[in-house]
């Protein structure tokens, strides 16, 4: 199962319908302290790059438990 499928199972949201509007980055209070903005993370997830080291680092520091 791909990481994007895990996201959909947990959240009920289909990451493939993200339009990359960057509202998630604009509304995130921690975005200015992140090396990857939430919109960049969504794009990486949609491309199946959830295993990249930058994304794994982001997952540890950001909003996910």
pLDDT for 30-47, tens place per residue? 788 777 888 888 888 888
**Domain count of the chain?**
1
Q: Are 49 and 8 in contact (CB under 8 A)?
A: no
Report how far residue 47's alpha carbon sits from residue 27's, in angstroms, rounded to the nearest whole number: 23
pTM across the whole model: 0.65
- Domain holding 50, by residue range, is 3-61
Q: Are 47 and 41 in contact (CB under 8 A)?
A: no
- Compare 6 and 52 and report the one with higher pLDDT: 6
């Amino acid at each position: 199962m791909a990481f994007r499928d895990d996201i959909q199972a947990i959240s009920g949201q289909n990451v493939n319908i993200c339009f990359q509007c960057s509202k998630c980055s604009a509304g995130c209070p921690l975005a200015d302290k992140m090396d990857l903005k939430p919109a960049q993370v969504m794009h990486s997830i949609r491309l199946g790059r959830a295993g990249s080291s930058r994304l794994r680092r982001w997952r540890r520091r950001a909003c996910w438990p």
